Structure formats: structure tokens, C-alpha cells
Structure 1
Amino acid sequence: MNLNILIVDDHPMTVDSYINLLSENDFNENKPNFIKSYDCENAYNKIIYYSKQNINIDFALLDISLPPYNEFNINNGVDLALLIRKKFKNCKIVLLTMHSEPLKVDRIIKELKPEGFISKSDINFEIFPIICKKIIAGDIFYSKTIMESQRELFKKNINWDNHDNQILILISQGVKTVNLPNYIPLSMSAIEKRKANIKEQLLLGKGSDKDLIGKAKKLGLI
């Protein structure tokens, strides 16, 4: 299938490196068409052009730090990603960054929910195309430094106690919610409220018990 891939980075050599890596045999089956940009203005114009032509952008690799497009208040790769979300609902978005400040990372994840969020220090030429192929296939991938940043934030701001930890651990061991009062000295309604609070903090309120346990394990909470 044809795969339109937008790559935006203010270093032309980096853009060319990504293209080379995504032009290997594993990606040839997708017939990639690369759309290159080096700043927010050029990327903005290409996103609008493809949208008006009713041509999908399927995959976007966006550096976060980019020369801004002040006229339309597009200041960085995150603003471009939000525009892509509006114009191309099914586009898989990967953000790349050299910065991993916990509050900034958390805000971006909550605002955008990118399919990929990668610290450039975590990748090399060998694993980069593998990661991209998995994201295109439907996986979500946040690199080690991004996950550590999230973990630190949760550890500092987490709002629960030992009962909440017990709830998580018991669920991870396969205990059904209806049976939790047999293990924890709380009422069913109190347990359900605590579980909802945990889900709100880790999953923004949405997700199954499996999703909850998966996120808690990734963050090193259990």
C-alpha cells in the first residue's frame, strides 16, 4: 500500500537519515512517499495542501523543537501534531525530542496522546525502523527516557495510599473487583471510588483493568 510519511526536523541531514532508514526492505512493501519539511511554516503549508487535496498523511515524524510559524501560532512540533490530528484522524504521530522534562512530557501526552514519543538519546539506526514499523502496525511506543520521566512525575504527584496499592496488586494477581472486600477492609463502594481515582490518574479515566495494570507496571508502581 502507499504510505505518505511526513518528516519534519530542522536538520536536513536528520530528515535524510530517517528517509534512508525507512526506505529499507521492510518498508518497501508499503511504498513510502516521503514529505520533507524543515520548519513549521513549510510543514503547515504541506499539511493544509494535502488536506485540501483529500490525500491522507498516514505517518508523521515530528521533532518538537522547530523554527515557528508565528503568523498561525504554530510554535513547535506539538502544534503541528495537533493540526495533523484535526486534518488526518488516522495518522500515526511520532514525536522526537532531546528534552524530557516530566511536566512538559506529561502535558504533551495528555493533550495529544501520540502513538510514539521518543527521546533521541534512546534510539539508534538499528532500532528506529523497527519501532516505526510497529507503530504503523498499531503499537504505541514511548521510549525509555519518556517513560522514566512519566514515572518520576507520578511518584512525586501520586495521590493514593497503601489501600490503593493493594487494589492494584490484587487486580494484577487476577482478583476480581467484586472480591476485593475479602482482602481489603473497605466497602465495595469505597473500593470502586479508589479504583476510579487510580484509573483517572494513570489512564485519564479510560481503559480496562488490563490497561491499568499494564500502565502501572510500565511506571514501576507495581
Structure 2
Amino acid sequence: MNHLLIIEDCPFACEGYKNLLKQEQVFKTKFQLTFANDCDTAIKQIKNGNYDIVILDIQLPVSKNEKYLCGEDLGLLIRNTQPNTKIIVITNISDALRITSIINELKPEGFIIKAKSDPKDLIDAINHILNNKIYYCKAIKKYIASTNMHTMIDDLDRQILHHLSMGEKTKDLCKLIPLSHRAIEDRKRKLTALLDIDNSFNLIKEAKRIGYI
């Protein structure tokens, strides 16, 4: 019996995963399934359970305390509290820079782009992981081959983008994020350069477009 946590806010996707994972002849094992459809529920499940595999969506509702902004933050929580848990990222995000950031931060054992994959990819990913192997879908492999993997936007960068998108002033961010005003300004300049943007308004617009906020 393998304990599997599915963090996904789309009920149709959850139902699809449930039906797929019932196919014992495909996996040659049974799964005990737990579901979470937002960051707050997922935090409770992660803290209260011990999972062999987590299927992790990236674009999720922000936690009430705004500490967890997306699935990437949940993935970091899993890595810190359950280091033996295997993570399969399944997302609609297709921006190469964003994908690079997720791989660098989480180092997931599985990575699937929803729009460019099918149920067989999830079956293959789980079977690979059960055999202690890594599975990335073809689209992810192409991104890896064409992207500088040292480029990374981390959780503090995402917090900066989130609070700016909520209308906070840069000068006030040091009250909300454990960084000095100078460090925040430096990170804003880095983000502006990475996303090839010339001002804060366009920075937030571009960050929303590619799925950072």
C-alpha cells in the first residue's frame, strides 16, 4: 500500500486521478489517497500525514496567511518535512523560466505538463518512481535542453511579486518579507532583468502571464 497525496484544485482532475489510480493491474499496487484543493488544506495534510508520493499542482489558491503562494511553496514544505516523499509536479505552466525555477527548487521526481501529456504519462511517472527512477515528460525534457538551468526565481522573489501585485509599495515590503529594503530592491532589479521588463507595472503583468502570481 502506497500513501499518495493529490494537491489539485480542479475537481474533474481529481476524479480523473482517482479513477486512474484504481487500476491495480497497471500499477501492481494499491494506493491510499488523500486530497487537498488549496494551500491551507494541503499544509494540514502534509503536517499530519506521511506520504510516499505527492501529485502537486502549482497554480493553487494562496494560503490565508499569504505565506504559501502556490504549489511550489508546498513542495518546499514537503522537502523540508518529508525528505523521502517523491513529488510529481503536474501543471499547465509552460513558460521555460518558470519550469526551470520549479526544477531547481524542488527537484521533482516527476514533471508533467497537462496540456502536452496524457494519462499514460502519469502512469509511467508513478511506475518510474515506484522503481526509484525519475520521469519527465517529453515537453519538460525539451525545456531542460533549451534553458539555462542556473536561472532561478525563488520563494522570496515570488513573495515580492505577490505583494506588489496586491498593491503594496516596495518601501513597505520589508515589513512583510524577511529582507532589507536594499535586498528587496536588488531582487526587483534581478526580476526585471530576468523577465526583460522595464518597470514595476510591466513586471507584475509579465509575472502573472507566465504564472508566478
Provide the TM-score with structure 1 as the length reference. 0.62
Unaligned stretches of 5+ in structure 2?
Answer: 152-213
**Aligned pair 1:90/2:84, yes or no?**
yes
What is the Cα deviation at residue 78 of structure 1? 1.0
The 1:49–1:63 alpha-carbon spacing in structure 2 relative to 1, beyond 3 Å, is same
Q: What residue is the counterpart of 2:5 in the other structure?
A: 6
The answer as to whether partners of 1:59 and 1:136 remain within 8 angstroms in 2 is no
What does 1:86-125 correspond to in 2, within 5 Å?
86-125=80-119
SS at match of 1:86: helix
SS at match of 2:76: helix
Percent identical: 33
What is the CA–CA distance in structure 2 between the aligned matches of 1:110 and 1:126, rounded to whole Å?
25
Based on CA coordinates, which of the two structures has the bigger radius of gyration?
A: 1
What is the CA–CA distance in structure 1 between the aligned matches of 2:3 and 2:46, rounded to whole Å?
11
The answer as to whether partners of 1:92 and 1:136 remain within 8 angstroms in 2 is no
**Aligned pair 1:41/2:40, yes or no?**
yes
**Aligned pair 1:75/2:69, yes or no?**
yes
What is the Cα deviation at residue 101 of structure 1? 1.4
The 1:125–1:109 alpha-carbon spacing in structure 2 relative to 1, beyond 3 Å, is closer
Q: What residue is the counterpart of 1:141 in the other structure?
A: 135
Q: What residue is the counterpart of 2:17 in the other structure?
A: 18
SS at match of 2:61: coil
What is the Cα deviation at residue 149 of structure 1? 1.7
Q: Deviations over 1:39-91 (max 9, x none)?
A: 111111111122xxxxx211000111011104161111111111111111111
The answer as to whether partners of 1:68 and 1:74 remain within 8 angstroms in 2 is yes
What is the CA–CA distance in structure 2 between the aligned matches of 1:28 and 1:99, rounded to whole Å?
27
**Aligned pair 1:58/2:52, yes or no?**
yes
What is the CA–CA distance in structure 1 between the aligned matches of 2:135 and 2:104, rounded to whole Å?
15
What is the Cα deviation at residue 27 of structure 1? 6.0
Counterpart residue identity of residue 114, structure 1 = P
The alignment covers a number of residue pairs equal to 150
